Structure 1
Amino acid sequence: MSDELEVVDAELVDDDHLPALRNQAQTPAVPEPEDDPDAWLSDQAKEDVQAGIPEQTAAAYKGDMDRFAAWCATVGRRPMPAAPQTVTEYMSYLKRTPRARTGRPYGPATMDRIIASIRSSHRAAGHQPPDTMGARKVVIGYREQLSLAQDPAAQPKKATPADRTVLRIALAELDRTTLSGKRDAALMLLGHALASRGSELVPLNWPGSFKEQPDGGFKVSVYRKKRKLWQTVDVPLDPEPELCAVRAVRALVAALAENDHHQGGLFLRMDRWGYLAPPMRRHGKPIGDTEGRMTTEAASEIVQRSIERTGLPGRWRSHSSRRGFVKSARQAGVDIVQIGRHGGWDDKSKALIGYVDEEDAAGDNNPLAQIGRKATARDQDDD
């Protein structure tokens, strides 16, 4: 035991008041959820909660809950409000059950998301989320089991960074004289320059999101979806014209104007021949973006197709441009704080720290490499 005494602020109470205090301590200050007449949400409040969940996340949550409810129906359990044991059983089931599409069970990262989906869906419906300690222990044990077996499923799937070197190779394979080539080049280069997610690129408008600067560059207004805030990012002219996001955007804007598109969405759908795609209809009714704006999934497909064409190995997605910006910046010796603020990361972002750690481990910033350089320089000075 420690020899130090713990000092606690306290108030002296007369003995006459002790019975009342004992009774008060035995009475819960807040009713249990199932007994609380206020533990409900109006339809409007439920909609407001739903509005605070990103669209892609909401879609994933809905799919997770639909599959959870279907499993509950087969085993005779209640999906909502779910008992803690039900969620634990479901995680155990997922760990052992191969999926038809892949022939493998879900990975630990997906199971973590499913647990979050169940808890979030309970909150949105006005229910107390179930205790998921048992379910998380199943996932922790599963992750360790896969890690010891050196199974790739133990590691989260990450997009491969598309830095300037990768972009230079990919753009050399792209026909930038065509409308689709101009669009694809602008998409990849602007994604790298803004360190943006695909979901932050596709909503950009011309000229609304862009402000011309005296130095020839742009100030671009980007909505950082994860942080739910707007950010103005400076994008200057690049000394290498083929890697210049500003020039690529201007080339795309000029090509769109030749196709009678002068304002609105910048990154638009195109048909297989590289022409602006007509509005999509289903049963006679328009679907998709009315301006023909592409989806986030389409932006990822463009990055994937453009880089895979070069034969470079990796997992290429629209997020590759965001990660590639980090790699390019670290190679140029840029401080992590500057990188984070340019790319809209929170100052304490664990994701950014993870990206930087990966780049530093493989580059000149590797601690052992720095030790070796300093030791060599010291030996040369001694000579």
Structure 2
Amino acid sequence: MSDALSHELTAAVTGTADQAPPPSTLGLAGEQLSPEEAAYARASKADATVAAYRADWREFCDWCTREGHSPAPAPPAAVSGYLATLARAGAKVSTMSRRMAAIRFFHSVQDLPDPTSPARVTTVWEGIRRTHGAPPEQARPLMPPQLFDLVAATATVRAFRSRPPEPDLAGARDRAMLLVGFFSALRCSELCALTVDNVLPHERGRTLVIASSKTNQRGEQTELVVLPFASHPDACPVRALDTWLELSGITEGPVLRRVSTGNRVAAAPLHRGSVNRRITDLAARAGHGEHGYSPHSLRAGFVTWAHLRGASDREIAAQTRHRSLASVGTYVRVETAWLANAATNMGL
């Protein structure tokens, strides 16, 4: 690959030319990406993934500079030494795995050999995993009654000095965010990406069409999620969603959006950081701030609550779209370990 093509491809995918790795000198000279090719190159990775890779690559380059290694092409000693440094500093195995993925990615866009595949690296990596491996941290499930405490903590009326009181749009949005997020069991990225066109009417509620997901990144399969009516109006995700859309006047585009301090709806959708702040603030307001709820707590809460209500793993996976039933089980083990367990019925 030529210097120009390597630099442009990396810049197209990462969104910046300044942070591109040292270009390769392999391949044809003078070839460049067209605007159309550059657009497809950028679409090859999710924005969040690219942002994480960019930060990881920058750190690896800084480490290589300090240690006297070339970051691209990186010798096996650089990768294994970098992993050992991270492990010594207490980095999580999941973090180191992502750093390796970033290194592979930036080498692949330059048509350079994968520096994480030599035996030196794989042996060190396996040793790190065996020595420092630990179960992944799981989000604390947010489910009834705590969920409804957060819903009740949302604001309903906004008072102003210069105009009459109005329905609090941020509060209406937050109620929709919490209830739709819980009942749909969507991942946070999917919830933020939901558009009006993705919400289809149904006699029993709404059907959500998920264009792409973590396990369906290319959208090759249509994924459907049900959003049912709930018997209690204050706990109904459909009613909360319809109320938010009506009050906000949203008829197209993103469903969950930012709301200004002046109680006006913006065009920009919420992102994970925004959802995290809203859940954190509402949890504190509801008196549950110590639990450390996160955006993933809604999905984890659905799985745990459904299991406690007697749903099978297969029924839960039909909503969460987990491909492995074992993955469903990881959500509920801590919360349900004391239920229906032979150790609690020993009679001793």
**Counterpart among 127, 138, 141 of residue 158 in structure 1:** 138
1:200·1:222 contact (CA, 8 Å) conserved in 2?
A: yes
- Report the CA distance between 1:155 and its aligned residue: 5.0
Matched, 1:189 2:196: no
After TM superposition, the structure 1 = structure 2 runs for residues 19-168 of structure 1, keeping only pairs within 5 Å, are: 43=33, 51-97=43-89, 105-130=90-115, 131=117, 134-135=120-121, 138=124, 154-168=134-148
Distance 2:325 2:43 in 1: 24
Which residue of 1 is the match for residue 188 of structure 2?
198
Distance 1:37 1:272 in 2: 54
1:46·1:125 contact (CA, 8 Å) conserved in 2?
A: no
Larger radius of gyration: 1
* C-alpha spacing 1:355/1:42, structure 2 compared with 1 (3 Å): farther
Distance 1:175 1:308 in 2: 14
* C-alpha spacing 1:225/1:48, structure 2 compared with 1 (3 Å): same
Matched, 1:355 2:306: no
- Report the CA distance between 1:144 and its aligned residue: 6.1
- Report the CA distance between 1:108 and its aligned residue: 2.5
TM-score where L is the length of structure 1: 0.70
1:72·1:78 contact (CA, 8 Å) conserved in 2?
A: yes
Matched, 1:329 2:306: yes
- Report the CA distance between 1:191 and its aligned residue: 0.8
- Report the CA distance between 1:201 and its aligned residue: 1.0
Which residue of 2 is the match for residue 218 of structure 1?
206
- Report the CA distance between 1:43 and its aligned residue: 4.9
Distance 2:340 2:248 in 1: 43
* C-alpha spacing 1:127/1:350, structure 2 compared with 1 (3 Å): farther
Kindly provide the CA deviation profile for residues 211-249 of structure 1, in whole angstroms up to 9, marking residues without a partner as x: 22223x111112342122431222111122222111110
Which residue of 1 is the match for residue 253 of structure 2?
264
- Report the CA distance between 1:323 and its aligned residue: 0.8
Matched, 1:368 2:343: yes
Uncovered stretches (5+) of structure 1, i.e. residues with no partner:
1-33, 98-104, 148-153, 278-290, 377-383
Distance 1:92 1:209 in 2: 46
- Report the CA distance between 1:337 and its aligned residue: 0.9
- RMSD (Å), alpha carbons: 2.9
Matched, 1:292 2:268: yes
1:119·1:129 contact (CA, 8 Å) conserved in 2?
A: yes
Which residue of 2 is the match for residue 236 of structure 1?
228
Which residue of 1 is the match for residue 4 of structure 2?
none
- Report the CA distance between 1:293 and its aligned residue: 1.7
Distance 2:282 2:126 in 1: 37
Greater mean deviation of Cα atoms: 62-71 or 111-120? 111-120
- Report the CA distance between 1:50 and its aligned residue: 5.6
- Report the CA distance between 1:58 and its aligned residue: 1.8
Distance 1:82 1:184 in 2: 47
TM-score where L is the length of structure 2: 0.77
SS at match of 1:80: coil
**Counterpart among 315, 326, 343 of residue 292 in structure 2:** 315
2:80·2:125 contact (CA, 8 Å) conserved in 1?
A: no
- Report the CA distance between 1:106 and its aligned residue: 2.6
Kindly provide the CA deviation profile for residues 160-202 of structure 1, in whole angstroms up to 9, marking residues without a partner as x: 1111222112112222342111100100110111111111011
SS at match of 2:269: coil
Q: Which amino acid aligns with 2:343?
A: L
1:115·1:132 contact (CA, 8 Å) conserved in 2?
A: no
- Report the CA distance between 1:266 and its aligned residue: 1.4
- Report the CA distance between 1:311 and its aligned residue: 3.2
Greater mean deviation of Cα atoms: 315-324 or 156-165? 156-165
